[in-house]
Homo-oligomer: A and B are copies of this chain.
Amino acid sequence: TGVVPIAVAYGDGIGPEITESVLRVLDHADAPLSYDVIEVGRSAYERGITSGIPDEAWDAIRRNRVFLKGPITTPQGGGYKSLNVTIRKALSLFANVRPTTSYAPYVASPHPDMDLVIIRENEEDLYAGIEHRQTQEVHQILKLITRPGSERIVRYAFEYARAYGRTNVTCMTKDNIQKQTDGLFHEVFREVAREYPDIESDHQIIDIGAARVAAQPEAFDVIVTPNLYGDILSDIAAQIAGSVGLAGSANVGAQVAMFEAVHGSAPDIAGRGIANPSGLLVAATQMLVHIGASEVAQTIRNAWLRTLEDGIHPADIYREGVSKQKVGSEGFTNAVI
């Protein structure tokens, strides 16, 4: 297989440090990639590009169809739309795939056996961005659930389960209250589930469902859910597995796929060389699988697991008694290499 060109954005906050780390690992592993580095986020805003993403960057993403994205920050204030959400919507990246595995005993976790995947609808729900002030004192936002949007993500979840040999898909909604919106999502889930008799399926109300994920994540396999519940559930799952700093995600559309860490740009620790590059590194391995370079993905994953196993840990996962050596971004990257 030849070299695959991808778009890369270093991002903001800890973005540049961790992206640098990840590219060093990819290069060292001879990943069959070439990089089209694009400007997205802070520096674009500072140049007066109010969307945070210049036309050339859009072109590069659409042309390359694969995009590795460091965490980015949208300026505060009502005038700016979240850049992450803008990208997901503009490219119709409808599926946000967030696997979470425990790395215990090498990373402290009360749930050594958890291994679940959250498949989060990525365009609709309260992320539709339709918000208004009815009066100074009464503000409203529209939550949107559509049949085609629900069908696409639910089908994706069942296909994913089949492809990866998983046996159960759980749907979570709040359809005891949101009968027409979440009710539609649940109804579509029931319909689609019938087409996959080889995969078990069930439904849980999001309140008790999230509680069970928090208390007994081992009981779950694949979870499919509307956007905002997926946002909350994936942070919960990642955190109890060890740290949200270890989780990567794929944002998949029909044309383009974008890979990013689940965590944000962590401006409070930016520039101090202590950020954990693992989230973006895991996302990069998802990306390698996506382009068909599974062997390189496996090599990198093994090296990374070995580093965790050796107890060479950045501050966010460092625990007395479990970890052996506290390292910064560079020390961690060197160990993986």
Residue ranges of A at the interface with B (Cβ–Cβ < 8 Å): 74, 78, 82, 85, 110, 126-127, 129, 131-133, 136-148, 174, 176-181, 183-184, 206-208, 210-215, 228, 231-232, 234-236, 238-240, 244
Q: Which residues of B contact A140 (CB under 8 A)?
A: 142-145, 181
- A217 to chain B: closest CB distance in Å? 9
The answer for the CA separation of A143 and B143 in the assembled complex, in Å, is: 7
Contact of A232 among B82, B144, B179, B207 (CB under 8 A): B207
Most chain B beta-carbon contacts within 10 A, residue among A138, A141, A178: A141
B136 lies within 8 A of A181 (CB): no
Known A-B contacts A207-B231, A212-B239, A244-B211; the reply to A78 vs B139 at CB < 8 A is no
A179 lies within 8 A of B228 (CB): no
Most chain B beta-carbon contacts within 10 A, residue among A85, A127, A179: A179
Q: Which residues of B contact A235 (CB under 8 A)?
A: 207-208, 210-211
- A140 to chain B: closest CB distance in Å? 5
How many copies of this chain?
Answer: 2
The answer for the CA separation of A244 and B210 in the assembled complex, in Å, is: 12
B181 lies within 8 A of A210 (CB): no
- A39 to chain B: closest CB distance in Å? 22
Q: Which residues of B contact A137 (CB under 8 A)?
A: 146-148
Q: Which residues of B contact A177 (CB under 8 A)?
A: 82, 85, 126-127, 129
The answer for the CA separation of A281 and B240 in the assembled complex, in Å, is: 31
The answer for the CA separation of A127 and B137 in the assembled complex, in Å, is: 18
The answer for the CA separation of A211 and B39 in the assembled complex, in Å, is: 31
The answer for the CA separation of A148 and B207 in the assembled complex, in Å, is: 26
Q: Which residues of B contact A181 (CB under 8 A)?
A: 131, 139-141
Q: Which residues of B contact A206 (CB under 8 A)?
A: 232
The answer for the CA separation of A145 and B134 in the assembled complex, in Å, is: 10
B239 lies within 8 A of A214 (CB): yes
The answer for the CA separation of A183 and B231 in the assembled complex, in Å, is: 18
A208 lies within 8 A of B244 (CB): yes
Contact of A110 among B110, B176, B207, B244 (CB under 8 A): B110
- A334 to chain B: closest CB distance in Å? 29
- A276 to chain B: closest CB distance in Å? 15
Q: Which residues of B contact A176 (CB under 8 A)?
A: 74, 82
Q: Which residues of B contact A143 (CB under 8 A)?
A: 126, 140-143
Q: Which residues of B contact A238 (CB under 8 A)?
A: 211
The answer for the CA separation of A199 and B174 in the assembled complex, in Å, is: 34
- A234 to chain B: closest CB distance in Å? 8
Known pairs A127-B177, A139-B184; list 6 more (Cβ under 8 Å): A131-B179, A132-B180, A137-B147, A139-B181, A140-B144, A206-B232
A214 lies within 8 A of B228 (CB): no
- A93 to chain B: closest CB distance in Å? 16
